[in-house]
């Protein structure tokens, strides 16, 4: 059990977990008759659990592994999120929140046993030049098998230089894995790190 402080719990629950989408697992088995680990809640008629790992790359640890009350709050929030998804999709789903030790990286994994569909969280990908900008606040990109929506803190006016190496304030990615959808919502990760995580999750099953 982790001895970490529960300091960033409000940030994770408010911004990440309840904005739930998805990230990486060392191994995410297809549905079986086994129950998933604590916190990796699932739902769906006549289908077994999707298991999510306790630890992810980049120092991420499942927040329901915290000591004491904090773990219980995370587990309850995750269970509520699963129930909400089940009402909407009626398919097996798993949700789990993660963070590193100092809270600088936070992520939520959501895995749904349903093929991916249109991914357009902040509207269509309009060329920023049409809007008189060098870069919009939101940018939709395809990278490999993933589609990612990058959220930047502010727009870049037309004529101003764009720092292509600047990390987004947060990002949301979706990747299909057969009949399963993997989604990631995270802050503190670069686009390359997020895509690497999604690729490993899809390929290591």
Q: Which pTM does this prediction carry?
A: 0.74
**Residue environment code for 34-47, b if the CB has 16+ CB neighbours within 10 A, otherwise e:** eebbebbbbbbeee
CB of 169 within 8 A of CB of 138?
no
The Cα–Cα gap between 159 and 194 comes to 30
Output the pLDDT for position 49.
Answer: 54
- Of all residues in the chain, what percent carry a pLDDT higher than 90? 40
Range scoring the smallest mean pLDDT among 18-32, 60-74, 88-102: 18-32
Label residue 186 by pLDDT band (50, 70, 90). very high
Alpha helices in the chain (DSSP H): 9-11, 69-89, 191-203
Range scoring the smallest mean pLDDT among 38-52, 112-126, 175-189: 38-52
Residue 163 in this model has a pLDDT that exceeds 80: yes
In the numeric block, which tokens belong to residue 22?
């998805």
């Amino acid at each position: 059990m982790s001895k970490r402080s529960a300091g960033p719990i409000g940030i994770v629950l408010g911004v990440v977990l309840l904005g739930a989408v998805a990230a990486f697992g060392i191994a995410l088995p297809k549905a079986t008759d086994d129950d998933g680990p604590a916190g990796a809640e699932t739902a769906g008629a006549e289908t077994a659990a999707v298991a999510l790992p306790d630890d992810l790359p980049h120092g991420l640890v499942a927040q329901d592994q915290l000591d004491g009350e904090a773990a219980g709050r995370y587990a309850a929030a995750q269970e509520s999120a699963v129930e909400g998804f089940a009402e909407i999709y009626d398919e097996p789903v798993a949700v789990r929140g993660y963070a590193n030790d100092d809270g600088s990286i936070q992520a939520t994994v959501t895995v749904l046993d349903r093929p991916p569909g249109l991914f357009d969280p902040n509207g269509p990908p309009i060329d920023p030049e049409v809007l008189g900008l060098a870069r919009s606040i939101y940018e939709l990109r395809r990278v490999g098998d993933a589609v990612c929506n990058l959220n930047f803190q502010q727009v870049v006016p037309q004529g101003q230089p764009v720092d292509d190496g600047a990390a987004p304030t947060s990002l949301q990615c979706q990747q299909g894995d057969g009949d399963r959808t993997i989604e990631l919502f995270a802050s503190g990760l670069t686009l390359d790190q997020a895509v690497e995580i999604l690729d490993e999750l899809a390929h290591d099953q």
